[in-house]
Amino acid sequence: MTVKPGERKLPELFRPGRIGRFATRNLIKYGACCVSNYNERDGRISKRELARTRIIAGTGCGMITNQGAYPDPLGEGKAYFRQVAIHDDRFLPEFEEIAGYIHDEGAVAIQQILHAGRYGGIDLGYCIQPSIVPQTLPHFRPPREMSVADIRAVVDQHATAAKRAIRAGFDGTEVTSFMGYLLANFNSRFTNQRTDAYGGSIENRGRFMRELIDGIKQATPDHPLIIRLNGAELMDRWGGNTEDECFELMQQAVDCGVDMISVTVGWQEAPESSIGRDIAPGHWNYLAARAKKLFPNTLIAFGNRLPDPRMANECIAKGEFDFWEVCRPLLADPELVHKAAEDRLDEVRRCVGSLNCLSRLFRDLPYTCTMNPALGHEVEPEYQIRPAAVKKRILVVGAGPAGLECAITAAKRGHTVVVLDKGDRIGGNLVAYAKLDLARSEDLSSIVSHYEVMTRKLGVEIRFNTEATPKLMRGLLHQFDVAVVAAGARIDRARLAGVEGAGRMLDAIDVAHGRVATGREVVVVGAGKIGLVVAESLAQAGAKVTIVEEDKRIAGDVMPSFKWRHSAWVEELGIETLTQTRVQRVTASGVDVVSEKGGERHVPADTVIAATPRLPNQQLFHDFEWMIDELHGCGDSLVPRGLDAAIHEGYRLGCRL
């Protein structure tokens, strides 16, 4: 077999491996990242899911873990609205199909069995737990304590499910305690407060896990069993396990003869981040390294918030773990492993840690990915990049994410694309926000770099410092078949018309781009994401910042899973927030505000920034209406929203032009 150029550069990652009696072609494991909410409500795998798993099978990973399926007929183990079930033979045909896809692609097939415990019973009025410890997140169900008979039944259900998976053609199985599921509930001091043989000492708390391992091993003796265990729960301050205890529990699993430990981090309800954008890639690698050091004879898989194959290659070289377990990076770019093998890493669409995927699962919606608009739409032609039947000349106005996504998608289909932008570089406002972002600037700027690389490789022409106007368009008449307006949005200054001295206010977008200077005492009017990003970055740089917001709450337009992060930053940075408050007057010394209850106050400031809601830039729709054959729009210039909508709409439009 010929070695590809990227494989030579990442020799550890692309080295063949082995689990039990099964050989893997490389040391990359597709992590169980596939609870998708695409399936039937009774747990049967849907056509949409099958199409998705076909893509997963083709990712090039040496080992592929199929989504966590719940093992019990009642659904006490069911965590997600449309989660897959494996408690009955009637589900076998689809599992067989998936195992077939994985084998066809030359990978080892692992089926995960996921009993959600504390986070389960999603269709029931309760969940089951080792002890009655109420929920801290209202999404989940009130608890019922498991009897010893219940425990035995659940162990049996797991063993039967494992047998079923093997009958369907899977090579091995995996059980998971990721993010606080049943296994984690027994292991944890927080949720296991039993006084019988299953609670109390760490030996007793680990009994359920040991019985689970024994049960599955006896049911499927010739097949590997993988266990996902927390290296850190991040629950210790609430009475959960310490990191040391987590490793003691791993020791118990090793002593029971598991074939691989997949090290994970965090619980759903943990008060801190584990895999969000504010966690630097590689942050948790030390947990895997500790596991490898303690258990040199057991395979260790790891990958939480480790999105870069180069870093993974290095970790394997240093002996920190044996398999790179990837999840979200392969949602964002299913071609990641192939691009790495072909030395085309510059073309990778990186997972930016936005957690749009998981946020949607908790709204009982199918998951989607900010960076991969085709995810979950694999059977729909409207989402496929196919050669265009008629090759067109396309003019895109605006080099932000919506315009560029549309441009590269259309170019991939064979169209000729020219992009105009009034600025002198691509990325639009995203460049500015990326620079100011406190979470991880590199994540957002990687999107801009991706567009830089792809427009270059696809021959998309970009004309900078060129404002699209009717005059310019008249000069371009008949040179293009299609125009796409992706001109973004602007701060709606008209909303401030009633404010005396509004002319003194700076525009948040100008501030974000660094086009205007700001002082030491700043008032930001508007606490949506733009206002917050600007306020936080100025406070970080040492300014005293106050936010004034008419609404009851800040971060109204921020994704649910990231609102808390902004609230925390605002607090940590000492930013004062005046909600349900309006600006009346801007003067040389600051702003006069009035609260909903009528309380008036002067807030001293040398800089006042308008970050009120945005207005779409739609004038060009009217200007160009009679000048071009096809006129379309996408992104914020239709309705101001955010990055997800921009990328997804740009892509969908690019697919159908």
Partner 1 sequence: MGAIEPGVEPLDAAAAGHWQVVFDRSAGLFAGLADGSRMGLVARSALGAVGGRHAAGVAAMLAGAAGPRMRAFEAREGAIEVRESTYSGYARAGVEILFAVDDAALARMRGLAADSVLGALKLALRTGDAMFYVFRTKYELQDAGYEDFLDTLGLAFLGACR
Non-local (6+) Cβ contacts of 66 within 8 A are 32, 34, 53, 56, 95, 98, 99, 102, 109, 110, 111, 112, 170
Q: Among 178, 295, 451, 562, indicate the residue that binds ligand FMN (CB under 6 A).
A: 178
- Write the binding mask 317 to 356 for ligand SF4: x where contact by CB under 6 A, - elsewhere: -----------x--xx------------------xxxxxx
CA distance 318 to 297: 16
Structural contact between residues 50 and 94, judged by C-beta atoms closer than 8 angstroms: yes
Element (H, E) at 299: strand 299-302
Single-letter residue type at 655 = C
| Torsional sign, CA 375, 381, 387, 392 | negative
C-alpha distance across the termini of the chain, in Å:
40
Site for ligand SF4 contains 369 (CB under 6 A): yes
Q: Could you give the angle at which helices 92-104 and 148-167 cross, rounded to 10 degrees?
A: 50
Site for partner 1 in 235-264 (CB under 8 A): 237-240
The residue among 401 and 633 lying less far from ligand SF4, judged by its C-beta, is 401
Site for ligand FMN contains 305 (CB under 6 A): yes
Site for ligand FMN contains 524 (CB under 6 A): no
Q: Among 280, 580, 602, 630, indicate the residue that binds partner 1 (CB under 8 A).
A: 580
CB 495 to ligand FMN: min, Å: 37
Residue 175's CB: how many other CB atoms inside 10 A?
29
CA distance 313 to 319: 10
The residue among 563 and 656 lying less far from partner 1, judged by its C-beta, is 563
Site for partner 1 contains 599 (CB under 8 A): no
Residue 520's CB: how many other CB atoms inside 10 A?
13
Site for partner 1 in 281-310 (CB under 8 A): none
CB 85 to ligand FMN: min, Å: 13
Beta-bridged to residue 38, according to DSSP, are: none
CA distance 423 to 132: 59
Site for ligand FMN contains 175 (CB under 6 A): no
Structural contact between residues 114 and 181, judged by C-beta atoms closer than 8 angstroms: yes
- Write the binding mask 80 to 99 for partner 1: x where contact by CB under 8 A, - elsewhere: --------------------
Name which of 51, 50, 60, 57 is nearest 25 in CA terms.
Answer: 60
Site for ligand SF4 contains 524 (CB under 6 A): no
Q: Among 412, 563, 585, 601, indicate the residue that binds partner 1 (CB under 8 A).
A: 563
CB 198 to partner 1: min, Å: 12
Site for ligand SF4 in 191-220 (CB under 6 A): none
Using left for φ > 0, alpha for ψ between -120 and 50, and beta otherwise, residue 274 falls in alpha
DSSP-assigned letters across all residues of 211-224: HHHHHHHHHSTTS-
Residue 241's CB: how many other CB atoms inside 10 A?
23
Q: Among 42, 255, 461, 571, indicate the residue that binds partner 1 (CB under 8 A).
A: 571
- Write the binding mask 210 to 249 for ligand FMN: x where contact by CB under 6 A, - elsewhere: ------------------x---------------------
The residue among 31 and 528 lying less far from ligand FMN, judged by its C-beta, is 31
Q: Among 24, 53, 241, 264, indicate the residue that binds ligand FMN (CB under 6 A).
A: 264
Site for partner 1 contains 587 (CB under 8 A): no
Name which of 177, 175, 176, 32 is nearest 102 in CA terms.
Answer: 32
- Write the binding mask 80 to 119 for ligand FMN: x where contact by CB under 6 A, - elsewhere: --------------------------------x-x-----
CB 333 to ligand FMN: min, Å: 12
Residue with tokens 């893509």: 55
Q: How many residues bind partner 1 (CB under 8 A)?
A: 52
> What would the two tokens of residue 375 be?
């995810």
DSSP-assigned letters across all residues of 316-380: HHTTS-SEEEESHHHHH-TTHHHHHHTT-GGG--------HHHHHHTTT-----SS-TTTT-TT-
The residue among 376 and 403 lying less far from ligand FMN, judged by its C-beta, is 376
Site for ligand FMN in 52-71 (CB under 6 A): 67-68
Residue 517's CB: how many other CB atoms inside 10 A?
8
The residue among 372 and 607 lying less far from ligand SF4, judged by its C-beta, is 372
CB 33 to ligand SF4: min, Å: 8
Residue 415's CB: how many other CB atoms inside 10 A?
21
Q: How crowded is the C-beta side of 26, counted as CA atoms within 13 Å?
A: 30
CA distance 153 to 137: 27
Residue 326 binding partner per list ligand FMN, ligand SF4, partner 1, none, with a CB distance cut-off of 5 to 8 Å that depends on partner kind:
ligand FMN
Site for partner 1 contains 14 (CB under 8 A): no
Residues that bind ligand FMN (CB under 6 A): 31-35, 67-68, 112, 114, 176, 178, 228, 264, 275, 303-305, 326-329, 357-358, 367
Residues that bind partner 1 (CB under 8 A): 119, 131-142, 179, 189-190, 193-195, 199-200, 237-240, 266, 268-269, 271, 273-276, 355, 358-359, 362-363, 552-553, 560-565, 567-568, 571, 580, 596-597
